[in-house]
Amino acid sequence: MNKKTVRDVDVTGKRVLVRVDFNVPQDKKTGEITDDTRIRAALPTIRYLIEHKAKVILCSHLGRPKGVTPELSLKPVAQRLSKLLGQPVQIAGDCVGPRAEGLAAALQEGEVLLLENLRFHEEEEKNDPGFAKALASLADVYVNDAFGTAHRAHASTAGVAKYLPAVAGFLMEKELEYLGRALADPKRPFAMVVGGAKVSDKITMLENILPKVDALLIGGGMANTFLKAQGYDVGKSKVENEHLEFAARLTAQAKEKGIDLLLPVDAVVAEKFEAESPNKTVNVDEVPKDWQILDIGPRTVKQFSEELQKCRTVVWNGPVGVFEFPAFARGTQAIASVLARIDATTIIGGGDTAAAVERQGLADKMTHVSTGGGASLEFLEGKTLPGVAALLDR
């Protein structure tokens, strides 16, 4: 990684503004945090700053508020973070203005302040220069440790870096190291497992990744489009007819380059897109006309597993079935189990894939589970992430 990190700047006695990603799920009735993975992911950077006697000012968004929305306050996050750190975490009533300025100015070395939800101000997402300058005025140094928002050019991810020395936190560094190495210099054989509902969401990524991999395994709803492009009747399964040509072209390119492109050979089909819908397993050339594919079948699991066991690097982006429904989660669970066992660098590309792995309790068996769904997808597409580009080069 060619970006400076928090290790490369002197933070002692300095006020350090840290962009974290505390956009955590909460119980709608109680407001209680139901998964604190993202808070825990930021702890190494926060603890480093505390140990090096910095005055720590954290900022994050939570949800999609329209103006000040009390139920999207970061107060519950401050309470959880306080428990995890074993020290008080103050919460500011706002993220800019007199209250925030006063609390930031009064911070002592090793103390932690959490600013209120950035998105209570619409200027945050507009990357408003005045808002970015007001945020920057609270601190002497800026650290971006929020990979999950690095693909957004917002005031707190890109704007602030114009006014302060800007470096990466440890989580940002880890994300860029693992994803960057997988694309630039992977141990081979290198495979990518791609799932999710739509081909349209992953076209740029598939085009960028194809020349880099030795094998491409396609499952999930997007596999239906590839199967139909090969002449299979997929019944009432969701298909993006406008991308059939792309699917056929990518399949031909893989063949031309000697890349193994694996599609499902069997599938779990259901009468309806419902958790309790009657279902059965069929070969992909036997899908009933009024049924739809909701998961990969056992023969596909076996074929995918055998391919993955040969690999030294695997990146996985997107579930291979409707993993939210237990009856159609077996394929995704099987892929996770294989990746947890193999002797390879295994990188899980955030979002639903990370949720599926965490639900199975296998996150700690993977080399790296990305905290950024959209950001990791754009990184795999080969795009420049504004929040990364804004950081100082080594």
* Residues that are catalytic: 38, 198, 351, 374
Q: CB of 348 within 8 A of CB of 357?
A: yes
Cα 64 from Cα 386, distance rounded (Å): 20
Backbone angles phi, psi at 338, to 5 degrees: -65, -45
In a 13 Å sphere around the CA of 31, the CA atoms on its Cβ side amount to 13
3-state SS class at 103 = helix
CA nearest to 244, candidates 259, 226, 262, 232:
226
CA nearest to 171, candidates 335, 46, 304:
46
Concatenating the DSSP letter of every residue in 339-382 gives: HHHSSSEEEE-SHHHHHHHHHTT-GGGSSEE-S-HHHHHHHHTT
Q: How many residues appear in the chain?
A: 394
Bridge-partner residues for 166, per DSSP?
Answer: 142
Concatenating the DSSP letter of every residue in 12-26 gives: TT-EEEEE------B
Concatenating the DSSP letter of every residue in 53-64 gives: T-EEEEE---S-
Pairing of strands 260-262, 279-283: unpaired
User: Helical H runs in 212-310?
Assistant: 222-229, 244-257, 298-309
Cα 253 from Cα 87, distance rounded (Å): 56
Rounded to 5, what percent of the chain is helix, strand, coil?
40, 15, 40
In a 13 Å sphere around the CA of 352, the CA atoms on its Cβ side amount to 16
- What Rg value do the Cα atoms of the chain yield, rounded? 23
